[in-house]
A and B are shown apart, each in its own frame.
Chain A
């Protein structure tokens, strides 16, 4: 008797916990697009169907356990088949499944809609950051985690958006259809923002498509969803959705910045300027693997501090940063960073942490290499 009660209470408290936490925002977000809301309602429909089936099935089960226990004097019957009952419990689930499949198919077709988009964004996954390129707009940038290391290591209190903050969010317009082209430079990543209901693998050498039409301005956060190595947990996605006109002026601003930066290529940079800029770039891009103090993590990530081979061969250093090293996690940064950033970070690496080569790499030199 007590046992059975415990069983029933156990099951009941599950359902109670389930519904109360669902109400408290621990559920899938309904999101801010048509598709995300459809997926949400699909999810809830199936969830409640499962709950109802569960109550009926477990109800019969617990009733039997309670009613037919031997301590209550139950004598066992001897039946072991009943064709009509079996037909019913095969056919009914089949019908329920058809009922689930119909709306699911409709939603899926809407997700695969390939109609013309207003904006194309190329999303490239890299260990362990995202690179965004607004196709045809001459705007592209890399977006990496901006949560400071000290918060991760517990030396500082964790901020509100711990692990979900980036240096440069992807900015998208509201009310326009944005098409994503996803690919990767190294391993498979998966770009995911729950509020947009977009999750798509980015696969090296191949291109995947997805799209979104955001309905409300705001900041939407997500993460890489496919295990991609050491810092899989540390490559968040942040999307900032702006009203159409705000977006247009943002894009124009970025385009102007890109042009300004391009013109900076021609002038002579001082060592201090390059070191300052290089430290920023290094912190945002290189420090996750090669460590903030350049000590690396052997054998995968070689140390840069005191790396004689690198310090003695300036050309090799430039080549590695520009073109990466095939068969290792070292990516090619030629198209992810601009010549100023490339020159600065190489100069920084050759002169920081006791590396006293005294070498200065000018943006114009990198530019020449890129254009050759």
Chain B
């Protein structure tokens, strides 16, 4: 576990020494071995992004299996047992395999460039934390082939469905989640160490780009809650294999305790998946509005408030488990409070647009769609926070619509915006705008076709995680399934666009975007393997 890390850094990295990367100039391994052994933050960043894209497609295929079964009422394609495995795997893979690694990948690429560091603070650890992921997810996916099937208890794996009543493969599921968790923790340590120690001389914390700030806060959230997840799954492991009764009522345990522990991890986890997205959008909107970000300081403060509040709201996921009145009220109030800093963020973005000089490159389109669609997810979140109403919303498609709005056109659109924004820096070529626009509009239409009708099927009474449904939900489900197929197919355009950009295209200068200000735009495009071997001369811009 956490005790056998980290390997001691062999190099002195500090803000004052420069060009200390002597070992990097040795003969480099070639071919596969180069990628296996690399300690370069840019290469590891690329590995993370490729891994996450792969998982995005695997998780997406699972989602399409789910949507295909739900295309019309009745059981057509899959049996309920397999359907449950698909919903569970879709959730687990998207959360732990696609969204989180994508953000870590972006952090690997961009954080050293944005703070003017030569590499991550702990390059070898960086390599290790990446390579844990393919192992973890291969193991997780292999559970689908085991007798009794893979995890089938939803990504929230509530006990006792995930303990006493779980398939035999659950022990492997726990193991793979442990590995993915360790990977995230190591990544977080690395990012914290880099941000706190390797900033260019003269760059104070309040001079850092917002992507770096949001990632710093995210990394602290990871350090705080991933061990809780590790604790919970360890307790599950003990309940399953060693006869303890943490969550087993028959032995004097409490199934509700599981939910408290899980959501104490789970709610900050939700913000882990959205705070870096805030950072990306806060970089893109000022760039294409050609105007400094409005309220830089309040953006930082709002991010910190959201992070603190995220520890105080967990039981809003549990309004119907039978909490006493006082607890319901407390969690309703704290949850509603989160709307304030979140609102501040949206207002700041809009104020940045106001009186700007706006152009609509693909990155900007995705960032703008993020603002609008994430806000819609925020509104439904506010509705869900109202405890009495939640007795009707809870565990219905209304909730599914809500969290997909914050995660798909939220987190995933922000990741795509970030990719389109930084592709010139990575590849030296501008992405194809025409292809990008096609991808954008197909995605926006697909996403809304998929998830908007879910609000209505949920309100009309459709519970989540069901393979078959009553006839009155048929029309909306059909629309959702068509939308999901459209969204899924349009992601092939994304892959095509990225490959095209890697292979060629309009050459990009160091400062690829007219309005871009941060340090990464001071190095050539594509960024050479080693940047900032001598710390850059940092001049604070007034935020």
Direct contact of A and B (CB under 8 A): yes
A interface with B by C-beta (< 8 Å)? 3, 10-11, 14, 17, 21-22, 25-29, 35, 38-39, 42-43, 46-47, 50, 53-54, 57-58, 60-61, 64-65, 68-71, 74-82, 85-86, 89-90, 93-94, 97, 100-101, 104-105, 107-109, 111-112, 127, 151-154, 158, 160-164, 182, 186-188, 190, 192, 194, 197-201, 203-206, 208-209, 222-234, 297, 299-300, 326-329
Whether B389 pairs with A39 at a CB distance below 8 angstroms is yes
Chain A residues with Cβ below 8 Å from B355 are 64, 68, 74, 76-77, 79
The reply to whether A205 and B294 form a contact with Cβ atoms under 8 Å apart is no
B308 within 8 A of A: no
B470 near A164: Cβ-Cβ < 8 Å: yes
B205, CB-defined interface residue at 8 Å:
no
**CB-based nearest A residue for B467:** A233
Q: Interface code B141-174, partner A: CB below 8 Å = 1, 0 otherwise?
A: 0000001100011100010110011011000000
With a CB–CB cut-off of 8 A, which chain B residues contact A43?
383, 386, 389, 392
Specify the main secondary structure of chain A where it touches its partner.
Answer: mixed
CB of B438 within 8 Å of the partner chain: no
Q: A76-B290, A154-B76 are in contact. Are A69 and B359 (CB under 8 A)?
A: yes
Q: Would you call A101 and B255 a contact (CB within 8 A)?
A: no
> Are B391 and A86 in contact, CB atoms less than 8 angstroms apart?
no
Cβ-neighbour of A232 out of B371, B379, B465 (below 8 A): B465
The proximity string for B residues 328-369 relative to A, scoring 1 for CB distances below 8 Å and 0 otherwise, is: 110011001101100110110011111111111000000010
Question: Shortest Cβ distance from B211 into chain A, in angstroms?
Answer: 17
Q: Name the CB-closest residue of B to A53.
A: B379
- Asked if A162 and B471 sit within 8 Å, CB to CB, the answer is yes
Cα–Cα distance between A199 and B296 once the two chains are bound (Å) = 43
Contact A46 B344 (CB under 8 A): no
Of B31-39, B60-68, B318-326, B518-526, the one contacting chain A is: B318-326
In this complex, the interface size class of chain B, counting residues with CB under 8 Å from chain A, is 35 or more
Does B452 interact with chain A (Cβ within 8 Å)?
Answer: yes
The answer to whether B153 touches A227, judged by C-beta atoms less than 8 angstroms apart, is yes
A194-B392 contact, Cβ under 8 Å, with A65-B353, A188-B161: yes
Tell me whether B73 and A162 are in contact (CB under 8 A). Answer: yes
Q: In the complex, which of the residues A61, A101, A208 contacts B371, with contact meaning CB atoms closer than 8 Å?
A: A61
Rounded to whole Å, the gap between the CB of B35 and the closest CB of chain A is 39
What is the chain A residue whose CB lies nearest that of B348? A86
Contact residues in A for B29 (Cβ distance below 8 Å)? none
B21 CB–A CB distance under 8 Å: no
Closest to B252 in A: A205
Chain B residue at smallest Cβ distance from A54:
B379
6 contacts between A and B (CB under 8 A): A61-B372, A112-B325, A162-B470, A188-B158, A204-B250, A226-B395
Which of B217-225, B414-422, B456-464, B532-540 sits within the interface?
A: B456-464
Partner of A81, one of B295, B336, B379: B295
Closest 9 CB pairs of A and B: A205-B249, A233-B466, A208-B322, A77-B355, A76-B357, A50-B379, A107-B388, A64-B353, A225-B395
**CA–CA, A139 to B458, complex, Å?**
34
Query: Among the listed B298, B359, B375, B392, which residue makes an inter-chain contact with A57, where contact means beta carbons less than 8 Å apart?
Result: B375
B74 touches A153 (CB 8 A): yes
**B396 in the interface (beta carbon within 8 A):** yes
> Would you call B40 an interface residue if the criterion is a C-beta within 8 Å of the partner chain's C-beta atoms?
no
Partner of A27, one of B160, B459, B470: B459
Q: Are B250 and A224 in contact (CB under 8 A)?
A: no
**Chain A hits for B465, CB < 8 A:** 227, 232
B433 within 8 A of A: no
Instruction: Assess the B329–A108 pair: CB atoms within 8 A.
Output: yes
Cα A11 to Cα B373 with chains together (Å): 10
Q: Are A29's CB and B165's CB within 8 A?
A: no
B371 pairs with A205, CB closer than 8 A: no
Most buried by A among B81, B336, B337: B336
Task: Write the nearest CB–CB distance from B480 to chain A, whole angstroms.
Answer: 13
Whether B461 and A222, one on each chain, are in contact in the complex, defined by CB atoms closer than 8 angstroms, is yes
Q: Which chain B positions have C-beta within 8 A of A29?
A: 460-461
With A and B bound together, what is the CA distance between A94 and B340 in angstroms?
Answer: 7
A42 partner residues in chain B, CB cutoff 8 A:
386, 388-389
Whether A86 touches B298, Cβ cut-off 8 Å, given contacts A57-B350, A75-B357, A160-B471, is: yes
- Give the Cβ gap from B168 to chain A, nearest Cβ, in Å: 8
Cross-chain contact A50 with B383 (CB below 8 angstroms): yes
| CB within 8 Å for A153 and B75 given contacts A65-B368, A69-B359, A231-B80 | yes
In the complex, chain B residues whose CB is within 8 Å of the CB of A205: 249-250, 254-255
Residue of A nearest to B338 (CB): A97
Which A residues are CB-close (under 8 A) to B356? 64, 68, 74, 76-77
Within 8 Å CB of B346, what residues of A? 57
B400 in the interface (beta carbon within 8 A): no
Asked if B161 and A227 make an inter-chain contact with CB atoms under 8 angstroms apart, the answer reads yes
User: Complex: how many Å from CA A364 to CA B396?
Assistant: 46
Q: Is the C-beta of B292 less than 8 angstroms from some C-beta in chain A?
A: yes
Inter-subunit contact A230/B84 (CB<8 Å)? yes
Q: Check if B128 is an interface residue, CB within 8 A of chain A.
A: no
Nearest chain B CB to A288 CB, angstrom units: 10
Q: Say yes or no: B389 contacts A46, CB within 8 Å.
A: yes
A223/B461 in contact, CB under 8 A: yes
A68 contacts which chain B residues (CB < 8 A)? 289, 353-358
User: CA separation between A212 and B455, bound complex, in Å?
Assistant: 26
Give CA–CA (A348, B167) in the complex, Å: 29
Question: What chain A residues lie within 8 Å of B391 (beta carbons)?
Answer: 39, 111, 197-199
> For A47, what are the chain B residues with a Cβ–Cβ distance below 8 Å?
383
Residue of A nearest to B326 (CB): A112
Task: Establish whether residues A190 and B161, one from each chain, have CB atoms under 8 Å apart when the complex forms.
Answer: no
A81 vs B298: C-alpha distance when bound (angstroms)? 9
Instruction: Name 15 extra pairs, CB < 8 A, besides A28-B392, A86-B344.
Output: A21-B456, A39-B392, A50-B382, A53-B379, A61-B350, A69-B358, A76-B291, A78-B292, A80-B542, A100-B336, A188-B158, A194-B461, A199-B395, A225-B394, A234-B468
CA distance A230 to B394 in the complex (A): 20
Q: B486 interface residue, CB < 8 Å from A?
A: no
Residue on A nearest B341 in the bound complex, by CB: A90
Give A25 to B391 CA distance when docked, in angstroms.
Answer: 19
Least CB separation from A61: chain B residue:
B350
Min CB distance, B462 to chain A, in Å? 8
Check B50 for interface membership: any CB of A closer than 8 A: no
Q: A54-B376, A199-B320, A233-B468 are in contact. Are A101 and B336 (CB under 8 A)?
A: yes
Which residues on the B side are within 8 Å of A158 (C-beta)? 73-74, 471
Does A3 contact B360, Cβ atoms closer than 8 Å? yes
Q: How far is the CA of A160 from the CA of B379 in the complex (A)?
A: 34
The reply to whether A199 and B359 form a contact with Cβ atoms under 8 Å apart is no
On whether the beta carbons of B74 and A152 are closer than 8 Å, the reply is: yes
Inter-subunit contact B353/A38 (CB<8 Å): no
Q: Is B290 in contact with A232, judged by CB distance below 8 angstroms?
A: no
The reply to whether B320 and A200 form a contact with Cβ atoms under 8 Å apart is yes
B182 to chain A, nearest CB (A): 28
Question: CB distance A152 to B351 under 8 Å?
Answer: no
